[in-house]
Amino acid sequence: MKNLRTPTGLHIGSRWIPAGETVPGDVASFNYEKAARKGLIEDTEGAEIRNVQPTGQAPAQAAEAPAAGRTFTEEEFGRVQRDRDELHQSLATAQQKLKDAETQLTQARQSAADPADVAALAEYRDVVGELLPASFPSRKVLLDNGYYTLDSVRYADDDALKAIDGIGDGRLAEIRKVAPLTISEE
């Protein structure tokens, strides 16, 4: 193709062509038809602008060429590299955030399991006894009335427990299934 010029300026192949200059018509990787539709190139004699066909290949064969054999322009390759670099940076940032979160989690676990606290709690349980578990029947009512441990419930007689507002015969039966009455020998 001859008689091509660019009214706007154009990057073709590996060069920049300023506005009003002649455009080479033999760059195989450039899409002349698309550039013409966008108004980036024009034929000075008004001829139809067609893409360059590789030597020895008919137009139908060129349209059927596989995408795997496609060559990229420097602009396309640069864009792909920039996208890859941005994705790599995003991945590095996400990995750093994950590492920071793991460090914070490890520190939180270490501070929550302070050996001095664990020893003090074990000593407390040895002296006081086992606390009422969260699933214990009428736990809140018992705690509100001073029954904090299983032993305190086991050693309380049935009349004392039934005297608590909120504990009747049904609740007492549930409590005794978990903490049967223990008679102290005095």
pLDDT tens per residue across span 1-45? 678 888 888 888 778 888 888 888 888 788 888 888 888 888 888
pLDDT tens per residue across span 55-95? 555 444 444 444 556 677 888 888 888 999 999 999 999 99
| Separation of alpha carbons 1 and 15, rounded Å | 18
Please report the pLDDT score of residue 68 as a whole number: 57
Residues 6+ apart with CB under 8 A from 12: 23, 24, 27, 30
Both tokens of residue 109? 């676990």
One-letter-per-residue 3-state SS of the chain = CCCEECCCCEEECCEEECCCCECCCCCCCCCHHHHHHCCCCEECCCCCCCCCCCCCCCHHHHHCCCHHHCCCCHHHHHHHHHHHHHHHHHHHHHHHHHHHHHHHHHHHHHHHCCHHHHHHHHHHHHHHCCECCCCCCCHHHHHHCCCCEHHHHHCCCHHHHHCCCCCCHHHHHHHHHHCCCCCCCC
Q: Where are the domains of the chain?
A: 4-53, 72-112, 126-178
Please report the pLDDT score of residue 11 as a whole number: 82
1.10.760, 1.10.357, 1.10.150, 1.25.40: CATH of 126-178: 1.10.150
